[in-house]
A and B are shown apart, each in its own frame.
Chain A
Amino acid sequence: MPLRILIDLQGAQTGSRLRGIGRYSLALTRAIARNAGEDLIFVLLSNQLPETIEAIRETLEDVLGENRFLIFNAQGPVSAIPRENERRRRVAEILREYMIDLLSPDAVLVTSMIEGIHENAVTSIGDFVSTIPTAVILYDLIPLFDANIFASEDANRWYHEKLDYFRRAGCLFAISQSSMDDAVKMLGVDRTRVKNISAASDSYFSSQDVSSDDISLVKQKYAILRKYLMHSSNFEPRKNFQGLIRAYARLPAAVRREHQLVLVCNLTPSISNELTCLATDVGLAAGELVLTGFVPDNELVALYAGCDLFVFPSFQEGFGLPALEAMSCGVPTIGSNATSVPEVIGRADALFDPTSPEAMAAMMFKALTDENFSRSLRSHAKVQAAKFSWDETALRVIAGLRELVARQETCGPKEAIARKRRRMLERVAAIVSEAQPNDLDLLDLASTIESNHIAVKQLNNAIIETGS
């Protein structure tokens, strides 16, 4: 029997849209839609982030079709911080779950749970209904290892609330074996409820369409004069930029003269300055370290394609997409032996201890000077990269959702629609009563509730009309 699957894509609306999570969410949704067969795929977006809705529609419409978007309304602002939003946020959580329940999909997939701390995204599981099988994508649990990420009391409490939603989810889709192990270890989730769905790089990242002219153009633009080894990622302490610079400084001067170190990353002036100072301190000559600043995707592909070696020295990753992107471009790639990086790189003799600049330098030296090793890494890159594909990941998601639906089919008696509506109104009224709302406030609330109701009705009618 075909399934009705609702994908909550708020993670492609918030600031996450500019980072890995947003890209992952969209690429996965497209792949699910391509591989859905008979299944009907719907997408939930929030009206609280209106400026992103059209762009997402355009990105997805060719694979999803027109009437597949459910737009959720709430009274904002609903971000977890500042605390004054608390009541609105709690109402919005209930309204969202109620709206999803009205559409009554067979399964829900939330592509990003950790949303809405400073932005108007709302995610919750089982605060109002617990009968709809819900799966969540788990990228990583890095904030549990790094207390600086959600340092304030409010932020920390909010994060732990989200972790409880992970525990309530019917199934967690981890993006790597390493994240999957963390879910079991750190969240205490049963292993049977976690699946590794892996990740993939955008098909855009391939050296096929890059010409040698493209490469010389970007090299010129970013002041790369010789051969180069590179690293790219968003700057965070765990990415270990400092370790990489120290390791590079340990290479023999002759090797450094021949190969510049190129760090592709959008850096603030102060961090940029910090890295430059470090380079001087460890004895690098002028021009040996190149900081590109922000680089658009088309140039990033050319930079990957043109480099002799890609180094991924991160201490901690959920997956480690840049390493896969580099390998997809056929670049010899070495990386740290920590968390998920070994899974992505896929060969033990290309790994090093990221806490040891000596070990990292030794591996870099070998990859840059031992031609046999370099050639073998290059041929391995393509083979390894081919193991990751969005279609494969999407198929794992669809299979996982099917299992989840089959498992949950034997749930208790269904709550009558009228009874559920009444319960929703009572819950919402209890929350707003603390603020002593006036008639206009209540009228606005009633309009919001009904606009969600109508959006579901219209979507249902459209599905019936198109006969799907």
Chain B
Amino acid sequence: MNVESRKKALRYQFEKVVDPLGYKFSPDEELVDFLLEQEVFLERKHGIPYCPCQGLPKDREGRMKLVCPCIPFHREQFDYMKCCWCLLYVHKDVTDTSGLRQIPLSEIPAAGLKRG
């Protein structure tokens, strides 16, 4: 499958996963296109479309938490940011992404967050 077809397939597949989680693809189409392309390359390299914006750890459990869409494993952080770390997915109520920021877990003001 060529890159464009695989990007389309991933987009279709991911949309079905993130919708019930309250997320949608970013309205920034250029960003979405770039990120999906990187995921196709990561899938070709590793066999799995990992998050392009997080470094892969050595352990399998840690890697599984970075399979896109990784929202369920970073729920509190991403809900606070209103987007995932890459900004590939945003909360359904987000229409303008200009105010969104990457906020590290250590700066999320919520008690009891687990690092992963």
Does B bind A?
Answer: no
Q: A residues engaging B (CB < 8 A)?
A: none
Q: B residues engaging A (CB < 8 A)?
A: none
